[in-house]
Amino acid sequence: MNEKKEVDLLNTGVSAVYWIKIFLSPFLIGLIAAVAAVLVLRSAVGVVAGVLAIILGAVFGYRMAENARKTTGTVAFSARTMSNTEFTNTNKKA
């Protein structure tokens, strides 16, 4: 395998990991909402609300991850959300 293919494979793998990370954020919120709905309502309505919350979380997560991938790229999107501007503005006084 030549060096360019190895770098492309590594970039694809890193992008896939960040895509999953972006997807999981809203999906886990939907999962937590589903568990809460089932525990609070304790009926068929709770189960339906829980399934709906999981589906909405998955759809929103997929759309958010795909939007990030198509516009800025998943790595750049994650870097922007993880950056901390408090440390970069050290010369400015509060």
> What is the tens place of the pLDDT at every residue in 10-46?
999 999 999 999 999 999 999 999 999 999 999 999 9
Judged against a pLDDT cut of 60, whether residue 65 lies above it is answered with yes
Asked whether residue 9 is domain-assigned, the answer is no
Domain assignment of residue 72, yes or no: yes
The pTM (predicted TM-score) of the whole model is 0.80
> Residue 30 domain-assigned?
yes
Residue 36 lies in a domain: yes
* 64 within some domain: yes
In order, the DSSP letters of 36-92 are HHHHHH-SHHHHHHHHHHHHHHHHHHHHHHHHHHHHT-HHHHHHHHH--HHHH--SS
5 lies in a domain? no
Quick check: is 34 in a domain?
A: yes
pLDDT digits (tens, 9 = 90+) for 71-93: 999 999 998 888 877 766 666 66
Q: How many domains does the chain have?
A: 1
